[in-house]
Amino acid sequence: MQPTPILIFASIASFSVATLFLFCVFLLFRKLKSKHRTPRQQQHRNRNLDLSSISVDESASFDPSLRISMAELRAATKNFSSDLIVGDGSFGLVYKARLSSGATVAIKKLNPDAFQGFREFRAEMETLGKLRHRNIVKMLGYCISGSDRLLIYEFIERGSLDNCLYETSTSAEADEESDGYLPSRLPLPWETRLKIMRGVANGLSYLHGLSQPIIHRDIKAGNVLLDSEFEAHIADFGLARMIESSNSHVSTQFAGTMGYMPPEYRNGLTGATLKADVYSFGILMFEVAMGRRPNLPMVLDDKEVGLIEWARILVAQNRHMEMVDASISREELMEANVKEYFRIACLCTSERSKERPPMSNVVEFLDRICDVKLCDDDDEYQTKVNE
């Protein structure tokens, strides 16, 4: 028996309705799944979409004399040879390289998730590329290819302050260049340490004083580079955040390095603030003067205490001179100078953020120390500091 046209039409209509119903169910399921996706999952998904949209290399140079491309950078680093690595941080490897123009640069190859997305990365790099200050490492450009992100900086001859404090040599081998950097010799004189801290303070004051201030968020010895004259250059803006008119930036991620982070971070606050940078700077002041890592415990009266607690106790007991790195000759120290230095460090590391001075004031305090360091005696020094 042949099927009638009515039966055929009814079968087709039933199939269409069933198909449409299943399609609607599928769309509803996808909508519900997207709605219940966690912020972290959504962020990861957006990041992947962002990266997948990059089909060609993109590069930018902030120095007209430099040509920057992925091919150029691969050639300069010998395809990122381990032999050219001069640094290894939480955000990626740093290579020393010579470009075809003859310029020696530092190239940082970032970890894939160091920045959330392509647009955010480009915007922040273009902003940082405009910074020009003698105590800020100059960014020369960047290059992006797929998930690869590379930053190109000026090469600073002596490497990090951390290396100069803890990994220097006094042997004859120090006369030869090693690891791509100029050699340093122990000890760093007290005057040199003052110069370094003065430079870091000037760089931070510049960042904080911009019309749209920049918070570094990770001030530490490893992020301060020293040139051939031991002038300080603040580096590694991987955690840097720009802020608007307020003094904080809302963040859901823990930022900074253990030992340098202010007490408000330990108490659960995660907002980036200018005063958090001031605290980290104060910790760095203690570290540079004492030659001791801030994340290691100190022993006081047979008990282990943190560096900042130890330092405050000795300052209260007027034992400033005992705090200075034992490798520094006491003949070059003036007690009033040392006391003023540690007074500034204590101000910067106040428990309450409101009590910490702005970096512009810190610069003034350190300038006074450096300007009157050649006084004949402590009484004359103290008189000039108080003027």
**What's the CA gap between 278 and 268, in Å, rounded?**
19
Instruction: Confirm whether 88 is a catalytic residue.
Output: no
Which of 218, 227, 236, 277 is catalytic? The answer is: 218
109 in a labelled binding site: yes
3-state DSSP of the chain: CCCCHHHHHHHHHHHHHHHHHHHHHHHHHHHHHHHCCCHHHHHHHHHHHHHHCCCCCEEEECCCCCCCCHHHHHHHCCCCCHHHEEEEECCEEEEEEECCCCCEEEEEEECCCCCCCHHHHHHHHHHHCCCCCCCECCEEEEEEECCEEEEEEECCCCCEHHHHHHCCCCCHHHHCCECCECCCCCCCCHHHHHHHHHHHHHHHHHHHCCCCCEECCCCCHHHEEECCCCCEEECCCCCCEECCCCCEECCCCCCCCCCCCCHHHHCCCCCEEHHHHHHHHHHHHHHHHHCCCCCCCEEECCEEECHHHHHHHHHHCCCHHHHCCCCCCHHHCCHHHHHHHHHHHHHHCCCCHHHCCCHHHHHHHHHHHHHCCCCCCHHHHHHHHCC
Binding residues for ATP: 109
Residues that are catalytic = 218
